[in-house]
Amino acid sequence: MDEKKLEQILTNVKDGTLDVEEAVQRLRHLPYEDIGFAKVDHHRTLRCGFPEVIYCPGKTSEQVATIFQKLAETGQDIIATRADSSLCDDVKRLTNLDGLRYESVARMIVLEQKPVESPVGNIVIVTAGTADMPVAEEARVTSHMMGQNVELICDVGVAGIHRLLGNVEQIRRANVVIVVAGMEGALASVVGGLVDCPVIAVPTSVGYGASFEGLSALLTMLNSCASGVTVVNIDNGFGAAYAASMINMKITGAE
Amino acid sequence: MDEKKLEQILTNVKDGTLDVEEAVQRLRHLPYEDIGFAKVDHHRTLRCGFPEVIYCPGKTSEQVATIFQKLAETGQDIIATRADSSLCDDVKRLTNLDGLRYESVARMIVLEQKPVESPVGNIVIVTAGTADMPVAEEARVTSHMMGQNVELICDVGVAGIHRLLGNVEQIRRANVVIVVAGMEGALASVVGGLVDCPVIAVPTSVGYGASFEGLSALLTMLNSCASGVTVVNIDNGFGAAYAASMINMKITGAE
Amino acid sequence: MDEKKLEQILTNVKDGTLDVEEAVQRLRHLPYEDIGFAKVDHHRTLRCGFPEVIYCPGKTSEQVATIFQKLAETGQDIIATRADSSLCDDVKRLTNLDGLRYESVARMIVLEQKPVESPVGNIVIVTAGTADMPVAEEARVTSHMMGQNVELICDVGVAGIHRLLGNVEQIRRANVVIVVAGMEGALASVVGGLVDCPVIAVPTSVGYGASFEGLSALLTMLNSCASGVTVVNIDNGFGAAYAASMINMKITGAE
Amino acid sequence: MDEKKLEQILTNVKDGTLDVEEAVQRLRHLPYEDIGFAKVDHHRTLRCGFPEVIYCPGKTSEQVATIFQKLAETGQDIIATRADSSLCDDVKRLTNLDGLRYESVARMIVLEQKPVESPVGNIVIVTAGTADMPVAEEARVTSHMMGQNVELICDVGVAGIHRLLGNVEQIRRANVVIVVAGMEGALASVVGGLVDCPVIAVPTSVGYGASFEGLSALLTMLNSCASGVTVVNIDNGFGAAYAASMINMKITGAE
Amino acid sequence: MDEKKLEQILTNVKDGTLDVEEAVQRLRHLPYEDIGFAKVDHHRTLRCGFPEVIYCPGKTSEQVATIFQKLAETGQDIIATRADSSLCDDVKRLTNLDGLRYESVARMIVLEQKPVESPVGNIVIVTAGTADMPVAEEARVTSHMMGQNVELICDVGVAGIHRLLGNVEQIRRANVVIVVAGMEGALASVVGGLVDCPVIAVPTSVGYGASFEGLSALLTMLNSCASGVTVVNIDNGFGAAYAASMINMKITGAE
Amino acid sequence: MDEKKLEQILTNVKDGTLDVEEAVQRLRHLPYEDIGFAKVDHHRTLRCGFPEVIYCPGKTSEQVATIFQKLAETGQDIIATRADSSLCDDVKRLTNLDGLRYESVARMIVLEQKPVESPVGNIVIVTAGTADMPVAEEARVTSHMMGQNVELICDVGVAGIHRLLGNVEQIRRANVVIVVAGMEGALASVVGGLVDCPVIAVPTSVGYGASFEGLSALLTMLNSCASGVTVVNIDNGFGAAYAASMINMKITGAE
Amino acid sequence: MDEKKLEQILTNVKDGTLDVEEAVQRLRHLPYEDIGFAKVDHHRTLRCGFPEVIYCPGKTSEQVATIFQKLAETGQDIIATRADSSLCDDVKRLTNLDGLRYESVARMIVLEQKPVESPVGNIVIVTAGTADMPVAEEARVTSHMMGQNVELICDVGVAGIHRLLGNVEQIRRANVVIVVAGMEGALASVVGGLVDCPVIAVPTSVGYGASFEGLSALLTMLNSCASGVTVVNIDNGFGAAYAASMINMKITGAE
Amino acid sequence: MDEKKLEQILTNVKDGTLDVEEAVQRLRHLPYEDIGFAKVDHHRTLRCGFPEVIYCPGKTSEQVATIFQKLAETGQDIIATRADSSLCDDVKRLTNLDGLRYESVARMIVLEQKPVESPVGNIVIVTAGTADMPVAEEARVTSHMMGQNVELICDVGVAGIHRLLGNVEQIRRANVVIVVAGMEGALASVVGGLVDCPVIAVPTSVGYGASFEGLSALLTMLNSCASGVTVVNIDNGFGAAYAASMINMKITGAE
């Protein structure tokens, strides 16, 4: 099913000439491709214009490469998360796709076939410490690939509140803020109290001992007294960026 | 800072003669009232037009009543969460505020002094089961008090997927979806895969045994494979509604 | 004790000519072989016609090889689980048994001495993602070695519910369904609601952060609202297949 | 949709004159009734002939009564689990349904409109101790209402293995065994090793201290070395009986 | 052993005329009184001038009263923690000690026989919310009874950072700060970063859901990035005050 | 097997005309009485001369009374653990057994039909605090009923090590020491280092906050650096006493 | 202090010519040697005749070698636990002590300077599976070095109860039984119910998934319904053997 | 901003000529340097004279080297924690700073530019076992670099209480005691009961099985019955030393 057909269906649903049930029926028969070990799905990309996403852990190099090849044929952008550099090398070797790029801090493989010309809106990513950078970078690259304006403010943990206060004006200009913090994870609450926009909190596994690999930060963020804070899984920079981009797109009407 | 000064600032903000950043600067030096056991804070309400909020557990009837009285003087709407009906009776007796209303399923005390005339946007709340109603109602009443259009779809848990599919059209029209589910909490992932807007997931403590008072649903939601899902604390219908309202306000430009 | 003798005892128990206590007495003296570090047991194999099973972790190559040798002498099929390929090489070298086969995705060593001629019934294995394949393959190989018809449907996680619905017909033909899923593990509930046969859920350790090495999926499955779902240990593809085969055998009367 | 229509659809599916996809489509539009706080679903009952089930916790007396009334109209049997006797009194008062019965040990409300004439197959329930009786009774009543032959063997915990061995003959005659045990939960493994049929293990919250409200028994059962053992949630006698009945029905061909 | 004798021993140890081993020997034979169910110990009081302390849970009214009576005879001050008002009534009735006082918010029974004339130093107690008051009051009353100057600043949680900043001057004057906070417990880190004195953090069980009865706040505080923060048990206002008083005494040389 | 036969066996064992092994063989086929909800077992009592034991939680008054009646007929001593006084009243009313005694601190019902004339050996029970008394008393009463000499030393927790050292001589005379401690549970390690006999550690649920209902003390005791320390379940005074009595009996040759 | 002096003290204590308090005083000044990073302690060895013990993890090769050297000078036997073979090589190289032996399955270094001539009593070690061997061997070697008769019965897990029953006579002859089991750990309860002597249960970290590295087996054993069972830390074969040897010594009067 | 300017601001705040809000404003603009991935902060060092601190995990060699270089320019002392020796080599290579020293047991990199001439006060560090040395050394080096007198007493765990008692005199001379202990962590309570000064307890991850990587020791210390004990994160020798130094400085008036 080509993109046009899909758009047609969705347009019809929106203008009422097709009922949703019927649309679901049609959609069900279509846009995934069965390649044995995976069902490659073009559904959401087609609807949202977002890049395709591959979660790498548990997949062999061959599997990742095959999925890359299949997805690349649609002309879409592709991002692959939690990839080490040798996996990127394998994919390059097995596919010969031009333009594969390895984002080393974010540990992502990126194929940018349709570079965004004018990123929209304003997402600000804030980290508590330098060690939170890989997760923050995963969020930054993801946001960028989804066509968002994104800024990164690093190392403003709450134990030196003046560093945060010194950057509060920039943070307040955001449509959505992503807060990335390990150890005690308190930054989300403080930021949540300083801004009037949604805050998406990402606990990281940074820390030791009673941080229990991110559990401490996760609990802190879930218990935040600041309204407007929601939480994603430990180290899930991608998920935070995805949700933030959805919100930012809708706010800017870029959807 | 006396109350007048505060009102002046806020009036100026509202009529556009004072910009918000400047107002925040001024407010930072001021605008909470110290009543001994609590610091009553008019900050956010003033900025956002949202109602004041009182979290009741751990406060005596006298304390809740005093805070109600203080807040009511500003003319704002007020909601108090996690209140039982006898607390509401106490507050009525101790304050004689007209128009206090007890929302029994949501377990909230509501004072609606400035009823919203035209609620905006579209928030849809979806519950997995009937037992999730109190949390869903807390979210519904909160959203309503924040001036949002809000719809509630009940008892569409994933074990009978046809019930969910039968309501998918209505859910897809939302700007933001709130999913309320206990036990296995799987509904958030399924809904997240069916819509293209942000999904805020609220795990509930509904269940027994290995639900561990909501922990199971919480973990399920944090591990959701569906992109765009973020999570709040167990049973935190208020928090989900607050975040959803922020997003909805920004999308509709009602802010 | 040879198989005939055992069958005689059991027949006598069944027709009432031998009381159970006496049978237990006799059985106690018999069908295991003491090889020092292990008691090789031919009990269940003899009764059920199922292959012998060796759980490899914690056993040295020499121990595994010795057990293989002992078991092979009975002419039975043998499967060894959680084996890496170097262990398979060791066993080949130490035993020179013909026909040892290494199933690399399932991480199993297989000795098929009495190939099943006509597999019976219908077990369907469903996985949420590609990364769940090793566990699913352990279940598939085990089921196959137990003489069952088995089909595998891959990568139909609930975040893209259309992929599952597109395969529902095949799933519904099963006598027993095995659902293999990590992360949030929600697939078991959705499948459980779509079929009218027993569903055996296998949580996997696929995921990160708050998946806590499969704990999240395990809790989700235990809390399933769908009736007819039972659960085995994290990553226990073998156990699920064993239980499913027992059920399938009894349904088809192949026992 | 009346029952006839449903049966017609299902018959057509079975004889091949209607494909499943189409059937699902039709089913999706039908058989639940929206009564606001709940979606009453006649789906599975119609397909399986099983009684309707109401899970009571978190529902008000009025809600339970309303659902009872709605369900009773279809002429089906109904069981309500986790009900205390005062809830049963309320339902009697609010509905005046004849024949409502309270099963006090099982804590269930039962409406038997179509008594099973000839229960089929053989389910044996085994408990470790007297304190496990409520859970075992929930399983027994559920099995009975689903039309199964069911036997109950009480207080044969592993600390007095002779008591278990004394009943092994009866246990071995079962098509499915349900093992109900709290504290250390070891009974499931021992029974699993003694029988050649599926064993469904139900951990109970019986115990104190390090039993952690059933967690200890749950973990024991999940780690069982005996093949063929699957597990349900803590205290979930209903779920175990439901799965056991499904298996038993299929084995006896009574479906 | 009277106080003089004790002082003599200790003086001798200090001036070197008695070696410590010998002193320990002598001390070992002395200052506790065996009253059967308890060993009443005058050791530390004698050395430090601190009041005697009774931890009430698990003791009967009779036991608490007897210990009060015994301790009162030494002329010392006495505090009893975690007492409800009916226990205080019982102790009054059973002992007729003059001057017993019940501190209702702190849930303590106090007997002040030697009122401190000039409290020393400066301990500041800071709470995140109103619901943390009982724990803060336990700390305040304990500190007061130990002869310390103590100030209480209430409801300055991090979600409204301006409230904390508005009180920072007062906090910075402290010799020791006690931070009392439930839910996410982030206040300890922020305060720790603003002051240059030791901070003792007390997590409280205030919160719900994923606060897990104070566990979340406890972990947050243990993982604090701010140097100089140490932690006591959940709700342990007494312990925090005791440690703070020890430090304050030594700093002021009041010991 | 009728009761007479059982008595015969037991009589023979006692007068030495039947050796125990042979008796056990015979007993294995028999000697429990099925009273429906329980299998009353005279096995161990007969072999060891220990009293019969009833664990009360989860049993109705009627069930406890029936078991008491059945057991009493053998002339044995009986103890029932975790009983409240109203249960004791019920049993008295329902059975009219003479000589039922309620041990209120230990929460036990005791029927002493064959008072021990000369208790043997030496078990010392040591508690950390007064609040540990109920568990210590359960251990003391159990030991006494099993015919042991038993001494109780109360309130010698490690925070006042001189109190423990003051009693070390008495502790060192024991054949077995039972250490009962909640909160941090450190007493077991210190005692273990001071004696040369087996130490059985009983963690108690005394404490609050991070004691997690005895988990802290349990972990402490399991990690004890002192050799010779073994552990039983939280609050399991009975179990500790039973094991201690077994050891003491064997040491003194009283068996 | 030489050994003679110590023996003199202890003899005097035993014949009553020296009181214990005085003896403790004298002992306190003596028998450990401070070698900087460790305090080498000859206390217990001297009193009990047991070998010296070194726990290796966290110590450097140099530290272990130094302690070996110091201890060897007293002529005592020495065992070092949790040592890998390269550590043994290092110790051999650094000390040139004759007769160092590496027990590879038990992972222990042994120096047997005073071989036991006639081991006493009877300790039986029972394991659930072959993978439990390292822990069982640690227990066996420890018991042997402490001068005990010890027997090992392997691979008699409860899933094949006939294997256990086939060895029950041998187990029943023991003075103390050590049960070593991972996964579900149910063996301790079954053995506890079959014998009349103390059972020391050792949970092992054998297993996967919900075994949580031995936690499941630990909880099972703590919740054992069988009386007379006590528990040590996960994988603590040494601790179990030490406690068992203490008991066995006292029973046989070999002390 | 130079040190003088900072001091001026703070002086003005203290003498009342500058209000705190204004001071915070000024401080906010100043004393950290933004180097992209980190905000290098000279705040606290300037105020306290303490060395700068770098927490190494999660930072690349290049990042650590850059921060070292920047900080060294101020002439301050620098310590970097949790560094392995290869990181130290990298920093030496990348910076060529003279005088970098690697503390191998403490795993720290130290740059001592302004050696303390006369360390003040008295901190005593006590460890339970030899394996706790790395954490104790981290505390010792940190204290030393902060200008404190510090003494280390090693291997005095509670299982051999005479070793602790033999050192009690030295411990009692401390202003603050740091107790470092893994496994059961009981040492903190015993020391807390022996001294009259603050005790800071550091749980370590030393142990196995149910020590759960330090959790057991952490819980023990949090539940300590000894007053005056506070706790830091598992293995956090640095944090304990920092808090102890703060206290010691204030007591000695060296601040």
Q: Give C127→chain A minimum CA distance, Å.
A: 10
pLDDT tens digits, one per residue of F57-111: 999 999 999 999 988 887 889 999 999 999 999 999 999 898 999 999 999 999 9
3 state SS of D52 = strand
- pLDDT band at C92, cuts 50/70/90? very high
**Has residue G206 got a pLDDT over 60?**
yes
- pLDDT band at G115, cuts 50/70/90? confident
- What does each C-alpha distance from B15 to B18, B31, B44, F184 come to in angstroms? 8, 19, 17, 61
A141 with A240: CB under 8 angstroms? Answer: no
Q: Give A151→chain D minimum CA distance, Å.
A: 45
- B5 CB-near residues (< 8 Å, 6+ apart): B30
Contacts of A221 in chain E (CB under 8 A): 184
Strand partners, D118: none
Give the sheet arrangement for strand G100-103, strand by strand: G52-55, G78-81, G108-111, G100-103
Q: Which of D20, D33, D37, D59 to mutate to test the interface with B (most CBs of B within 10 A)?
A: D37
D217 with D183: CB under 8 angstroms? Answer: yes
The average confidence (pLDDT) of chain F is 87
| G and A interact (at least 3 Cβ pairs within 8 A) | no
H158 with H128: CB under 8 angstroms? Answer: yes
* F-chain residue closest to G48, CA distance: F196
User: What's the one-letter identity of residue B138?
Assistant: E
**Has residue H34 got a pLDDT over 50?**
yes
- In 3-state terms chain A splits into helix, strand, coil percentages (rounded to 5) of 45, 20, 35
Cβ-Cβ contacts under 8 Å between E and F: the total is 61
Q: Nearest Cβ partner of B230 from A48, A172, A200?
A: A200
How far from each other are the two terminal CA atoms of chain F, in whole angstroms? 27
- F240 CB-near residues (< 8 Å, 6+ apart): F139, F178, F180, F200, F201, F202, F232, G230
CB spacing of G231 vs F230 below 8 angstroms: yes
- C131 CB-near residues (< 8 Å, 6+ apart): A55, A57, A58, A59, C182, C204, C206
pLDDT at C1: 38
What are the backbone dihedrals phi and psi of residue C233, each rounded to the nearest 5 degrees, phi first? -65, 160
Quick one: angle between helices B187-194 and B215-222, nearest 10?
A: 30
| A and B interact (at least 3 Cβ pairs within 8 A) | yes
The string of DSSP codes covering F41-101 is: E-HHHHHH-PPEEEE-TT--HHHHHHHHHHHHTTT--EEEES--HHHHHHHHHHH--TTEE
User: What's the one-letter identity of residue F32?
Assistant: Y
pLDDT tens digits, one per residue of C169-206: 899 999 999 999 999 899 999 999 989 899 999 999 99
pLDDT tens digits, one per residue of B99-110: 999 999 999 999
pLDDT at D243: 97
Q: Is the dihedral of CA C214, C216, C222, C226 positive or negative?
A: negative
Report the 10 Å Cβ neighbour count for E14.
11
Chain A contact partners (≥3 CB pairs within 8 A): B, C, D, E, H
pLDDT tens digits, one per residue of G25-78: 555 444 466 777 777 765 555 456 688 899 999 999 999 999 999 888 878 899
E7 with E18: CB under 8 angstroms? Answer: no
- A27 CB-near residues (< 8 Å, 6+ apart): A6, A9, A43, C162
- Mean pLDDT, residues E36-61 taken together: 76
CB spacing of A24 vs C162 below 8 angstroms: yes
D132 with D157: CB under 8 angstroms? Answer: no
- Mean pLDDT, residues D81-105 taken together: 95
* G-chain residue closest to D163, CA distance: G193
3 state SS of F124 = strand
pLDDT tens digits, one per residue of A197-221: 999 999 999 999 999 999 999 999 9
Contacts of B209 in chain D (CB under 8 A): 203, 205, 213-214, 218, 233-236
F20: tokens are 């125990």
D67: tokens are 């659902």
Q: Give D29→chain A minimum CA distance, Å.
A: 9
Chain E contact partners (≥3 CB pairs within 8 A): A, B, F, G, H
pLDDT at F29: 45
Contacts of B175 in chain A (CB under 8 A): 250
**Has residue E21 got a pLDDT over 60?**
no
Q: Can you tell me the distance from the alpha carbon of C86 to that of C102, in angstroms, rounded to the nearest whole number?
A: 10
Q: Give H152→chain A minimum CA distance, Å.
A: 23
pLDDT at D30: 47
Contacts of F160 in chain E (CB under 8 A): 32, 39, 41, 43
Q: Nearest Cβ partner of E227 from H165, H198, H239?
A: H239
Eight-state DSSP code of residue H213: G
CB spacing of E25 vs G25 below 8 angstroms: yes
H204 with H232: CB under 8 angstroms? Answer: no
Q: Nearest Cβ partner of F159 from H189, H210, H216?
A: H189
**Has residue F226 got a pLDDT over 50?**
yes
Q: Give C74→chain G minimum CA distance, Å.
A: 19
3 state SS of F205 = coil
pLDDT tens digits, one per residue of A159-168: 888 788 878 8
Give the sheet arrangement for strand F52-55, strand by strand: F52-55, F78-81, F108-111, F100-103
Q: Can you tell me the distance from the alpha carbon of D107 to that of F201, in angstroms, rounded to the nearest whole number?
A: 39
| Closest by Cα among D32, D249, D38, D119 to C196 | D249
- Going by their DSSP bridges, the two strands G199-203 and G39-41 should be labelled as unpaired
What are the backbone dihedrals phi and psi of residue B91, each rounded to the nearest 5 degrees, phi first? -65, -40
Residue C92 backbone zone (phi > 0: left; psi -120 to 50: alpha; other: beta)? alpha
- G93 CB-near residues (< 8 Å, 6+ apart): none
Which residues in chain A come in under a pLDDT of 70? Answer: 1-16, 18-33, 41-49, 254-255
- pLDDT band at C35, cuts 50/70/90? confident
Q: Give G80→chain D minimum CA distance, Å.
A: 32
pLDDT tens digits, one per residue of H205-234: 999 999 999 999 999 999 998 989 999 999
C234: tokens are 């994290």
